[in-house]
Structure 1
Amino acid sequence: MKNINLLILLVISLLAFSCAKQSSPMGGPRDLDPPKVLNMSPKNQSLNTKPEKIILTFDEYIKLDNANKNILITPRINKDEVIITAIKNTLVIELNQILEDSTTYVFNFQKSIQDLSEANPVENLKLVFSTGESIDSLTFSGSVNTYFPGRNTQLEDAIVGLYPLDDTTNVFTAPPYYLTQVDSVGKFFISNIKSGKYIAYAWLDDNNSLKAEYKSEAFDFIKDTITIIQNIDGIQFNLSKGDQNPIRILRSSSVGSNYTIVLNKNPVEISIENENPEFDIFYTLGDKRITLYLEKPITDSLAFKVNLTDSVGFNIDSLIYAKFENSERRSEKLSITPNSGKSFYKNLGVELTFNKPLKNINYDSLYLAYDTASIIAITPKMLSFKDSLRRDILQINLSIPDSIPFELFTVKAADSTFLDIEGQYNETVLSANYKKLKLETLADLISGSIEGAEGPFIVQLLDSKGEMKREAYIKSGNNFSFNLIEAGNYEIRVIEDTNANKRWDPANYEEKRNAERTFYFTDPDTGDKNISIRGGWTLEDLVITSTPKTGLKTVQN
């Protein structure tokens, strides 16, 4: 009997626990509706109001998604003082600052407000109010392009901002007065602007600081002052990246028997002039450093002029006194890095990069091998250096006749083939392979013309990985062509080389110079950049149309 009573008590306890346990209802349609606004304080389009708090009430519980980034407030306020909280179905924004007089404020919530259960965002929600008698209604709109789009470039991470002309800040020092985010197709729209004169910028705000970074973020600007007294449309920005810090020499000193100059960035042009022609100076360029070499140590300092230019056009000209002293420090071993793995047809271009300038080459142990025992001797006439003072990049140009029916060719060099300026021989054997392509596998021709731009032009053929396979410099005219191309998928990029220095130049903010325009071939029917070409094919009459220049295209009343 006692056991029966215990069993009855156990069953009753289990039933009571089961009844008390709460669970979510099963089944039913998924909630796809975003929260709806029930009330705003102040009300949208309110006049003569300076709220200390902004309160929005919704028809369901809400949460916030990165509110500090996603809620855009214009014109500029001190966002460090703003406190944004979501409690149940209410959003509260504590401003903690006094708003400007006679100014229209816009709170663009984008997709920052979501329902609590399914994260459905409220879209196109804005609160507009004025501290004065009227709502400012002028607009500023256009599009944003990027000259060198990366595989992960997201245009919606870009910001477009307006700074009043009399503002002492700029895009690198503080957030703009008016701003908006760019959409996924590169369009932007700023509304409720007060009439006045402004400076306009666009930039990829990778770190969410609402200002551009000198070194790392792509940006663009309109050179001219923009007077907004009516709606403005058709503004075009073309983003490009370039370190805006002027090139500087940080320090220079003797390192072993050599002399090193340490820089804040890498130069694109180097000129070194030795004031004592009795001595030959050679150099190598490393990461933000130039190393000078002299064949033999000397007791006195040697004066030389160094002229450096960086990628955005800044230049320094300095006189340096260097010492090349005897040192017990062990010299670095000589190393070789070949451009092996390249394909070619007829003309083979070999490039060997050394860690130090070369002094001598033993040609008896340097040759091109094919088959099992056949070789082509490499002679001094086939060799050249990129720079007479930079004897660390050796170029070998070989012409392979069609009568040699082999595909694999190997540049070989025995140990002790190369002697550097410090008296070190290469200790490892060089063996670099190159593949000769068959004529029947090559496309015959890609050709076309460039419209809407002025030369000179740099025309580049890029493979599917974005690596440059061919480059042509068009000094005059607007026609281009590439012959005998390996089959594959390509893009064609054109650089408008305005200053004819045979390289692309990014924007220089200090000199108010926009980046050189860069544009791609796109299929007029599909808008696709990709070009597919196969062996024996010919693609002619391609038309590459330039991107719009940075600036204003049209004005609408």
Structure 2
Amino acid sequence: MKYRLYISFLFLAFLFYACAKQSTPMGGPRDQDPPVVLEMFPSNQSLNQRPEEILIVFDEYIKLDNPNKNIIITPKVDKDELVITALKNTVKIELNQDLEDSTTYVFNFQKSIEDLSEGNPTENLKLVFSTGETIDSLKFSGKVNNYFPKRGFLYENVIIGLYESNDTTDVFTAPPYYLSQADSLGNFSIENIKAGKYRAYAWHDDNNSLKAEYKSEAYDFILDTIDIQDEVSGAIFNLSNADQTQIKLTRSSTSGGNYDLVLNKDPLEIELANERIGKDIFYIVTDKKITLYSTQPIQDSVKIDLQLQDSLSFKVDTTIYAKFEESKRRAEKLTYTVNSGKNFYQDLLIELTFNKPIADISYDSLYIAYDTAFQITITPEMISFQDSMKRDQLNIQLIIPDSLTTDIVTIKAADSTFRDIEGQFNEAVLAANYRKLKRETLADELSGQIVGATAPYIVQLIDSKSQIIKELYITEGNEFKFELLEPITYKIRVIEDLNKNRHWDPSNYLEERYAERVFYYVHPDTNSQDIVIKSGWITEDLTIEATPKTGLN
């Protein structure tokens, strides 16, 4: 009997536990509603407020998503002093600092506050209050473009900032007074601005520092001071990278039998003035370094006038005295890279890049092979160096006729085909393939016109890997045409080359100079930059509209 009572007791206890145990209800619609604000302190749009802390109460439990990044506060406050916490259904912000007199503060929470269960973010949540008698209501708005967007770039990570005109800081040294983030299309708006004069900047804030890293982050600026007395709209920023460091020669010294010039950044233009350069003294350029080679040791120092210029037009103009001493150090091995795997129609350009200047070529072991049993001998007339003073990039230009029926041609070179300036031969055998396209597989034409800009233009046809397939330089007019193209997806990029130096020039903040404009073809209906062409197609009458200039438009 006692045993039966014990079993009954356990069974009843189990039923009681099962009934009392709480669990998530199964089924039913998922909660998609964001948290709703029940109360704010101070209240929104309130005047004469100097709170020590801010409280926001919601209708459900909430959590914070990276509040230091996602909560935008204007004008600027010391974020290091803020303490932001979420407890149950309340967000608390401890300011721990004094606020400015007669100033409107805006706390834009964006999507930093989410409900605890489903992560639904609040939408358009702002708290606006003033320490004075009025709410500032002026607005600064516009759009951000990116000249060279990289994979993974998001406009949402772009900061637009206003600095008071009398502020001694700038975008590289301190956070702005007012700021906002762009939306996914690059549009932005800064609201509740106090009337005054400001300097405006935009930058891609990769590291969330609220200031631009000029060596690594794309940025732009408006040169003119902006006097905001009424709403200002139509501002344009065009982001690009520009290292503002002035180029310098940091060290020059003998290295074995060679002579090294070490720089703080890569030069865009190099000029070495001495009658021996290109005859028995040559040079190569590697990462932030120029290495001079001599065909033989030279007893006396060689005077060389050195002129360098970087992409921002900063210059080095000096004289060096290079020494080429006899060295017992073992010479570096000769190595190369080749542009293998390229497709071509008739004109085949083979590029060989060496780690040292080339002194001699054995043509007996350098040829083009096809159909296993046939070959084309490469002669000196087919070969040129990209720069005769460097002799490290070898170009082989061939015309392969349509009568050649094979699809694959191969450049071959035995070991010891190339000898460098230090007497080293290539040890690796060269065998690189190229695919010949058939005429009937090619698109006939891709053409159009450029509007809203001024020639000359650099027009670049780019593939899906951002590689330049073809390039045109247009000195007059606004029309472009590419012919006989492989049928793939392209983009067209245009550079407005106003200084006619045949390359893109970045902005120079110190010299108050904007970057040269860069813009792309955009389909008028789909807003896509992709241009899909097929065999036999003629794609014409494309219109490429120039990006608006930086400034107020």
TM-score after normalising by structure 2: 0.96
Q: What does 1:430-469 align with in structure 2 at a 5 Å threshold? A: 430-469=430-469
* Partner in structure 2 of residue 406 of structure 1: 406
Name whichever of 203-212 and 335-344 sits farther off: 335-344
Question: Are 1:224 and 2:224 matched, yes or no?
Answer: yes
State how far apart, in whole Å, the 2-side matches of 1:519 and 1:432 are.
35
Change (3 A) 1:85 1:70: same
Please report how far the alpha carbon of residue 111 of structure 1 lies from its aligned counterpart in structure 2 after TM superposition: 1.0
State how far apart, in whole Å, the 1-side matches of 2:408 and 2:531 are.
28
Q: What secondary structure, in the 3-state scheme, does the structure 2 residue paired with 1:388 have? A: coil
Question: Are 1:246 and 2:246 matched, yes or no?
Answer: yes
Question: Are 1:55 and 2:63 matched, yes or no?
Answer: no
State how far apart, in whole Å, the 1-side matches of 2:153 and 2:214 are.
18
- Is the Cα contact below 8 Å between 2:343 and 2:436 reproduced in 1? yes
* Partner in structure 2 of residue 121 of structure 1: 121
Please report how far the alpha carbon of residue 276 of structure 1 lies from its aligned counterpart in structure 2 after TM superposition: 6.2
State how far apart, in whole Å, the 2-side matches of 1:384 and 1:206 are.
43
State how far apart, in whole Å, the 2-side matches of 1:119 and 1:106 are.
24
Please report how far the alpha carbon of residue 20 of structure 1 lies from its aligned counterpart in structure 2 after TM superposition: 5.0
State how far apart, in whole Å, the 1-side matches of 2:34 and 2:435 are.
59
Provide Cα deviations, 1:247-295, integer angstroms capped at 9, x if missing partner: 2223222222112222222222111123767973211111222111111
* Partner in structure 2 of residue 481 of structure 1: 481
* Partner in structure 1 of residue 365 of structure 2: 365
Q: What does 1:58-137 align with in structure 2 at a 5 Å threshold? A: 58-137=58-137
* Partner in structure 2 of residue 288 of structure 1: 288
* Partner in structure 2 of residue 312 of structure 1: 312
State how far apart, in whole Å, the 1-side matches of 2:323 and 2:357 are.
18
Please report how far the alpha carbon of residue 389 of structure 1 lies from its aligned counterpart in structure 2 after TM superposition: 1.0
State how far apart, in whole Å, the 2-side matches of 1:158 and 1:191 are.
17
Q: What secondary structure, in the 3-state scheme, does the structure 1 residue paired with 2:84 have? A: strand
State how far apart, in whole Å, the 2-side matches of 1:507 and 1:493 are.
18
Change (3 A) 1:528 1:22: closer
State how far apart, in whole Å, the 2-side matches of 1:275 and 1:517 are.
39
Name whichever of 520-529 and 234-243 sits farther off: 520-529
State how far apart, in whole Å, the 2-side matches of 1:296 and 1:94 are.
72
The number of aligned residues is 553
State how far apart, in whole Å, the 2-side matches of 1:278 and 1:376 are.
30
Provide Cα deviations, 1:127-182, integer angstroms capped at 9, x if missing partner: 11111121111100011111112231111111110001111111111110000010
- Is the Cα contact below 8 Å between 1:275 and 1:305 reproduced in 2? no
State how far apart, in whole Å, the 2-side matches of 1:26 and 1:535 are.
56
State how far apart, in whole Å, the 2-side matches of 1:433 and 1:29 are.
59
Q: What secondary structure, in the 3-state scheme, does the structure 1 residue paired with 2:51 have? A: coil
State how far apart, in whole Å, the 2-side matches of 1:150 and 1:390 are.
32
Please report how far the alpha carbon of residue 405 of structure 1 lies from its aligned counterpart in structure 2 after TM superposition: 2.5
State how far apart, in whole Å, the 2-side matches of 1:545 and 1:447 are.
14
- Is the Cα contact below 8 Å between 1:274 and 1:281 reproduced in 2? no
State how far apart, in whole Å, the 1-side matches of 2:362 and 2:551 are.
58
Q: What secondary structure, in the 3-state scheme, does the structure 2 residue paired with 1:76 have? A: coil
* Partner in structure 1 of residue 416 of structure 2: 416
- Is the Cα contact below 8 Å between 2:160 and 2:200 reproduced in 1? yes
Please report how far the alpha carbon of residue 386 of structure 1 lies from its aligned counterpart in structure 2 after TM superposition: 1.1
Please report how far the alpha carbon of residue 403 of structure 1 lies from its aligned counterpart in structure 2 after TM superposition: 2.8
Provide Cα deviations, 1:200-248, integer angstroms capped at 9, x if missing partner: 0011111111111111111111111111011011111111112222222
* Partner in structure 2 of residue 472 of structure 1: 472
Question: Are 1:349 and 2:377 matched, yes or no?
Answer: no
* Partner in structure 2 of residue 163 of structure 1: 163
Q: What secondary structure, in the 3-state scheme, does the structure 2 residue paired with 1:381 have? A: helix
Q: Residue type of the partner of 2:404?
A: I
Q: What secondary structure, in the 3-state scheme, does the structure 1 residue paired with 2:191 have? A: strand
Please report how far the alpha carbon of residue 392 of structure 1 lies from its aligned counterpart in structure 2 after TM superposition: 0.5
State how far apart, in whole Å, the 2-side matches of 1:37 and 1:483 are.
61
Provide Cα deviations, 1:447-487, integer angstroms capped at 9, x if missing partner: 11111100110101111222211111111221111111111
State how far apart, in whole Å, the 2-side matches of 1:19 and 1:442 are.
74
Change (3 A) 1:421 1:276: closer
Q: Residue type of the partner of 2:520?
A: Y
State how far apart, in whole Å, the 2-side matches of 1:353 and 1:74 are.
53
- Is the Cα contact below 8 Å between 1:63 and 1:116 reproduced in 2? yes
- Is the Cα contact below 8 Å between 1:276 and 1:303 reproduced in 2? no
TM-score after normalising by structure 1: 0.96
- Is the Cα contact below 8 Å between 2:278 and 2:388 reproduced in 1? no
Please report how far the alpha carbon of residue 512 of structure 1 lies from its aligned counterpart in structure 2 after TM superposition: 1.4
- Is the Cα contact below 8 Å between 1:69 and 1:208 reproduced in 2? yes
Change (3 A) 1:275 1:317: farther
Name whichever of 544-553 and 505-514 sits farther off: 505-514
- Is the Cα contact below 8 Å between 1:459 and 1:493 reproduced in 2? yes
State how far apart, in whole Å, the 2-side matches of 1:541 and 1:497 are.
23
Please report how far the alpha carbon of residue 495 of structure 1 lies from its aligned counterpart in structure 2 after TM superposition: 0.7
Question: Are 1:497 and 2:497 matched, yes or no?
Answer: yes
State how far apart, in whole Å, the 2-side matches of 1:13 and 1:123 are.
48
Please report how far the alpha carbon of residue 13 of structure 1 lies from its aligned counterpart in structure 2 after TM superposition: 4.7
State how far apart, in whole Å, the 1-side matches of 2:438 and 2:423 are.
42
* Partner in structure 1 of residue 262 of structure 2: 262
- Is the Cα contact below 8 Å between 1:275 and 1:304 reproduced in 2? no
Q: Residue type of the partner of 1:482?
A: F
- Is the Cα contact below 8 Å between 1:44 and 1:128 reproduced in 2? yes
Q: What secondary structure, in the 3-state scheme, does the structure 2 residue paired with 1:174 have? A: coil
Change (3 A) 1:28 1:339: closer
Q: What does 1:130-145 align with in structure 2 at a 5 Å threshold? A: 130-145=130-145
Question: Are 1:43 and 2:43 matched, yes or no?
Answer: yes
Q: What secondary structure, in the 3-state scheme, does the structure 2 residue paired with 1:326 have? A: coil
Q: What does 1:538-557 align with in structure 2 at a 5 Å threshold? A: 538-553=538-553
Q: Residue type of the partner of 1:186?
A: G
State how far apart, in whole Å, the 2-side matches of 1:455 and 1:16 are.
85
Q: What secondary structure, in the 3-state scheme, does the structure 2 residue paired with 1:55 have? A: strand
State how far apart, in whole Å, the 1-side matches of 2:13 and 2:45 are.
61
- Is the Cα contact below 8 Å between 2:197 and 2:226 reproduced in 1? yes
Please report how far the alpha carbon of residue 360 of structure 1 lies from its aligned counterpart in structure 2 after TM superposition: 0.9
Q: What secondary structure, in the 3-state scheme, does the structure 1 residue paired with 2:386 have? A: strand
- Is the Cα contact below 8 Å between 2:444 and 2:537 reproduced in 1? yes
Provide Cα deviations, 1:84-106, integer angstroms capped at 9, x if missing partner: 11111111111111111111111
State how far apart, in whole Å, the 1-side matches of 2:323 and 2:93 are.
64
* Gaps in structure 2 of 5+ consecutive residues: none
Please report how far the alpha carbon of residue 75 of structure 1 lies from its aligned counterpart in structure 2 after TM superposition: 0.5
Q: What secondary structure, in the 3-state scheme, does the structure 1 residue paired with 2:552 have? A: strand
* Partner in structure 2 of residue 339 of structure 1: 339
- Is the Cα contact below 8 Å between 2:242 and 2:312 reproduced in 1? yes
Q: Residue type of the partner of 1:30?
A: R
Change (3 A) 1:278 1:381: closer
Q: What secondary structure, in the 3-state scheme, does the structure 1 residue paired with 2:11 have? A: helix
Please report how far the alpha carbon of residue 346 of structure 1 lies from its aligned counterpart in structure 2 after TM superposition: 1.6
Please report how far the alpha carbon of residue 343 of structure 1 lies from its aligned counterpart in structure 2 after TM superposition: 1.4
Q: What secondary structure, in the 3-state scheme, does the structure 2 residue paired with 1:129 have? A: strand
Name whichever of 89-98 and 395-404 sits farther off: 395-404
Change (3 A) 1:523 1:278: closer
Provide Cα deviations, 1:365-388, integer angstroms capped at 9, x if missing partner: 222222223222212121111112
Please report how far the alpha carbon of residue 110 of structure 1 lies from its aligned counterpart in structure 2 after TM superposition: 0.7
Q: What secondary structure, in the 3-state scheme, does the structure 1 residue paired with 2:156 have? A: helix
Name whichever of 420-429 and 22-31 sits farther off: 22-31
Q: What secondary structure, in the 3-state scheme, does the structure 2 residue paired with 1:323 have? A: strand
